[in-house]
Structure formats: structure tokens, C-alpha cells
Amino acid sequence: MDSSDSIAIIACGGRLALECIEEARSSGRLGGVIALEGESIPEVVALADHVLKWGQIGRLISALERTGAKKVLLIGSISRRPDFRTLVGDFETIRWLPRLLTTMAGGDDSVLRKVIGFFESGGYQVVSLADVAPGLLAAPGLHVGRKPSATEREDIETGFAALNAMAAFDVGQSLVIGQGRIAAVEAAEGTDAMLERVAQLRDARRVPWKPGTGVLIKAAKRQQDLRVDMPVIGPQTVEGCARAGLSGIAISAGSVVIASRSDCIKRARDAGLFIVSCDQAALGPDAPSGAIVPETP
Amino acid sequence: MDSSDSIAIIACGGRLALECIEEARSSGRLGGVIALEGESIPEVVALADHVLKWGQIGRLISALERTGAKKVLLIGSISRRPDFRTLVGDFETIRWLPRLLTTMAGGDDSVLRKVIGFFESGGYQVVSLADVAPGLLAAPGLHVGRKPSATEREDIETGFAALNAMAAFDVGQSLVIGQGRIAAVEAAEGTDAMLERVAQLRDARRVPWKPGTGVLIKAAKRQQDLRVDMPVIGPQTVEGCARAGLSGIAISAGSVVIASRSDCIKRARDAGLFIVSCDQAALGPDAPSGAIVPETP
């Protein structure tokens, strides 16, 4: 294998990291796996070449060097924001501290962009999940469930338009809309917490929809760097939508990943939810009728 | 008093209803007060001409007729959505039921617009708080606290622009922004619940601002009918902002009411928060430096 094509995967929380590792391995491009203690799932830790603790920046760099890879995929969730107090016990880290301190100043997206800069300044190319595992990105079409009704198609159009309008302000990765009304908009709380809020609002009759009403719309924000912050739905999202009494999920094809796809499909089927990938670019008043749900799924 | 100028106030929950009654009385235009059992505060119930239960639409119409007023102000909060099961024990209601059923179909704003239509079809003019008690609307300027810093002024500009962008989708009456990042957007949950969410996100370090960072931005939605749905901040809002560790509140002058104003000012001062009313129309890149906070407050 040409080392220039080899990919080192820094795998944090969630099963998606495992799926990426499997895809990279099956395409023969896996250079190595670095897991993060307390974040990576056991299956990832079990097959990792290196398992690091939070703050072991020095060891991270050495581990990367040992993989021989020049491309890096950062994948998986981080349950907490790195704390400077965890930067202990790793002498090598001190060498990287000044650059790291610069990296950690600023908002969430800004941090991620700076993390990319950190790796790039070390000669690495940060690649996206779409480069490593394009199969995980959903093509446009209906994945499970019935086709959205005319009302739901309108809601889906409105929902994507609203996310688009908010994207310029680096907010709104997802929202819940039903019967023409937006019930919740995601900001810093994350999709799961937003879905839980919708469930509570419905219990309290603050959102007076009949059960099986409302669609989760999810897309990438315009300023979102898909190399480090790919929007994802997974089994937990599907369960959240079911608890919130929604009728389905509409994601932007090409920029939202369905993690643990077969599990998602099964749970959605059991809960009577549809999952549809939409070609956001094809939405709008002049869009052909098949733009949201292609006539041949 | 000319009855055409006389105003009947249908007073629901909160102290703002009491303030409106006092203003209408002092201007000699108070035609009568109708309170709602279980919603109106005791002070309002005490001075009401009629106290109705939920669903007594027939009695509401009779009570309105007896005030002799042709103008109606609907003011105050409603803790729960009217339930058709409460439409009992009021024989007269049956007469109004068909029109009411039509009224209750649809989303929140739509309901309120239809409520207006309901009164108008009975020959009443629904007026706004701005007509009855213009003194409750805040003029542009700083009401309490220090002037917003340059960073905060930028955040306020961005916040209003984001609310504007969302307004077309009938969402986003308020948001919380700090250091250029929008942490929360209000939809169906209401401002108080959104502020509580920000407090929790900060406790969980999901919003990594220093204490005293972040501004609550509140404005009317574009499609909002100010006659029945005037955005309000009050002591509870101020307390919510304090708990969320914010630095201040920026409202749109002319479309957001400060209820219990002196109480708000006192609490904001105690909590070290600023409250500023902004001329939304004057915001933007070409705005003069005094546009957000007039140089002479």
C-alpha cells in the first residue's frame, strides 16, 4: 500500500467510528487506529493500535507517526470538552502546548477548524468520512417507511429552507416541523436533547399535534467543516423521533450520515417512521415532484 | 365617555394584564374587565366585572355586551391550550361552537389570528397593548446596567439578523448569543424554558462561556400579530437570564414589552445585567454608532 493513500483513524465515541474502520480496512487503506480512553467503544479499543487518554497530545503525535499514514480521519463523538486540567502526565504534550492553547480559544466550530490546522501544520491531511467511507452517506431516496404525504413534503421543503436561512448564522443543524409549524430548533443542545424537548412539549400539550405528526429535518450547516463535524443520525435519533411522536426523518443527502444503518432501518420500521434523504439543491418552488422523494425509490 | 373609545379587557395570566387595566383606567378608557378563572392573578380577579371559566364562550359574549365597549384587548398568558372537554356547563356556548371549532383548527399563530376574526365577526375591534398602554413599550435606549461592549454589540447585531432570517418561517422569537455563537433558539418551548436550557448547557460545560457572557435577544416574529401576541420580558425573564449567566438582554424597541418594569430594572441591577431596547430598523453594517445604544440613554 502506498503510504500516501493510507489513513490513520482517530476514533472517538460511537459505533460510527467502528463502521469507518471496517470500511477503510475493506478498501485496504487503513493505516492504523488510535482510540481515546473513556470515549471509544470497547470494539474500537479492542482493535486499536494505540489507546490514548485525554490530553496526551505528545503521545498522539508519536502514535500518528508510527502509523506511517499521511491522511487522518477524526471520527466519533466527544462526550466532554477537553479540559486543560487533563493535560498532565504527558511530558511530550508540553512541546505542543503553545499551539494547543491557541487551538482551544474560540467557539465550537472554530475549535474544530483549528484542530484541522493543528494536524495540517504537522504535515497531515485531514480527510472526511465521505473520503474514507462514501458508502455511509445516504443517496437521495426513501430508505424506510411510507412516502411522505403532501403535507409532510411541504413541511420538509419549509424545514430545509429554514435551516438554510439559519445556516448563515452557524446555527440550526436540525429542527422539528409539523403542520407548517416549527416546534424546535437545535443549537448547542444537540439533536437528541431537542427531540427530548419535543417529546416533553407534546406531553404538556404545548405542541398539539396528533401522534405521528412532525418531521425531523437535519442538514449540514453552511459553515460546517464536514471533515471533522459530519451530521449524523443513528439508532438513538430514530428512538428519539419515536418518543417525540414524529412521522419521519428527512436528511440532506450527501452531508448527513446514517450510522448503524441496518439498525436504524429496523427501528424506524418498528416505530412506523420514514427516513428519506433529500437532494437539498433540488428543493424549492420550481423543483420537480420527485425532488424530495424520487418517484422510484 | 364615548363608548366607541371604551375598551373591554379580557385579562388572562400575569401581572401585565393588571398594568394594562391600570393604564386604561388612568386614561379613562376602561369599559370593563373580564377575568379567566385559573389564569388571571388574584389582583385582576378582585377588580374584574366578570370572572369566567374556560370554555364559557357564551358567557364571554354576554359579558362583553354588558361592558358596552366596542374595543377589546386580549392580554395575559394562557397556561394551557383550551381543551374542547372544558366546553361544558355553558348552554350558550353551543350557539358559538361551530364558529369556535373553525377557530381552533391550525397552529398557534393561526389560532390567535382566528380568535381575532371571532371577535371581529361579533362587531368588536381587537386592539393591541400599544393602543391601550403605549407607556409599557420600551423606547430605544439603555434601561439599566452598563453599555454593551463592542463584542456584545456585534452579538446583538448578529442576533437580531438571525431572528430576522428565521422570522419568515414563523420561528425564533428569541435566542441567546455570546462570543459570536448562538447557543439556543426559542421555538415552541418559550423564552423561560430556553433560558433554563442555556443554564443547563453551561453547567454541563456544553456552552463554554465565562460567567457574564451571552445576551438574550428578543423581537417580534414577522408574522406575529401584536394585537394578541406581544412579546414580553418580565422579572421571570430577568431571573432566567441571571441563572443562565448572561450579561444582558436586548429587545426590539416598539414590539417587546417590559412587564413589571421597575421590578425588572431592580432585578437586572442586582444581577449585573443590562437591558437595552434597540431600533431593529437601524441595525446593520451602515448603522451609526448610536444605533444599538443611543449615545444619550
The whole-angstrom separation of Cα A198 and Cα A240 is 9
Q: Which residues of B touch A158 (CB under 8 A)?
A: 169
Nearest to A34 by CA among A59, A56, A9, A67: A9
Minimal Cβ distance to B205: which of A81, A206, A208: A81
The whole-angstrom separation of Cα A205 and Cα A114 is 43
Contact B187, A184 (CB under 8 A): yes
Is A188 within 8 Å of B183 when comparing Cβ atoms?
yes
Is A169 within 8 Å of B182 when comparing Cβ atoms?
yes
Contact A11, A34 (CB under 8 A): yes
The reply to whether A184 touches chain B by the CB within 8 Å rule is yes
Q: What are phi and psi of B200, to 5 degrees?
A: -65, -40
Nearest to A139 by CA among A229, A261, A288, A227: A261
Prediction ipTM score: 0.80
Interface test with A, best of B81, B104, B185, B217 (most A CBs within 10 A): B185
Contact B153, B98 (CB under 8 A): no
The reply to whether B183 touches chain A by the CB within 8 Å rule is yes
* Confidence band of A10 (pLDDT split at 50, 70, 90): very high
The reply to whether B216 touches chain A by the CB within 8 Å rule is no
The shortest C-alpha distance from A197 to chain B (Å) reads 8
Dihedral angle computed from the Cα positions of residues B254, B259, B265 and B271, in that order, rounded to the nearest 10 degrees: -110
**pLDDT tens string B39-64:** 899 999 999 999 988 777 778 888 99
The reply to whether A222 touches chain B by the CB within 8 Å rule is no
Residue A168: its pLDDT value, please?
84
Domains of chain B: 7-132 (3.40.50.20), 137-282 (3.40.140.80)
Average pLDDT, chain A: 84
**pLDDT tens string B260-274:** 999 999 999 999 999
* Confidence band of B97 (pLDDT split at 50, 70, 90): low
- Going edge to edge, which strands form the sheet with B248-252? B141-144, B274-278, B248-252, B215-218, B174-178, B181-185
The three cell numbers of residue B192 are 423561560
Residue B152: its pLDDT value, please?
95
The predicted model scores a pTM of: 0.82
Q: Closest-CA residue in chain B for A176?
A: B187
Residue A96 CB contacts under 8 Å (≥ 6 apart), including other chains? A57, A58, A61
The percent of residues above 70 in pLDDT, for chain A, comes to 80
